[in-house]
Amino acid sequence: MEADGRNLLARGRVATRLPARDLERARRFYSEKLGLDPVDERPGGLLYRCGDTEFAVFRSAGASSGTFTQMGWQVDDIEAVVAELRRRGVVFESVDLPGFRTAEDGIAEIEGNYPSKGARGERAAWFRDSEGNLLGIGEPVV
């Protein structure tokens, strides 16, 4: 840690937490639609691992607003991922906002995203899980 303590969280790992009103329904969605099974669980919570990151789905009396992307995956081939998820029954969102909109295939072209990754933009798609959480898939455009 730096002497001034500003680097306090920079070496930590970030893990997303997603609320679920019905934890068993969420478990089925993540398994059947996304092909993910929990690596650990506790009463009221499921822990998933993707690559070297983790996210948890937890039982909650509250609900997500679903008005913004709460979690996203970076993929190498967005067309293949979107096609496979559609085959499994995932419904993709239609987005029409200033600066980008989804095309007929459900994928938006976003200019200027992630120059730190050597990209000139990103191709992205969004869908909701069984609990209304808005999830995204992105592929950097180099």
| 138: its two tokens | 């992105």
Instruction: Convert the pLDDT of each residue in 13-67 to its tens digit.
Output: 889 999 999 999 999 999 999 999 999 999 999 999 999 999 999 999 988 888 9
Q: Which residues contact 75 (CB under 8 A, 6 or more apart)?
A: 81, 137, 138, 139
pLDDT at 140 over 50: yes
| pLDDT tens per residue across span 27-39 | 999 999 999 999 9
Among 25, 54, 24, 28, which Cα is nearest to 39's? 54
Q: What is the pLDDT of residue 132?
A: 96
The CA–CA distances, whole Å, from 127 to 4, 8, 44 equal 41, 34, 24
Q: If you count them, how many residues does the chain have? A: 142
pLDDT at 4 over 70: no
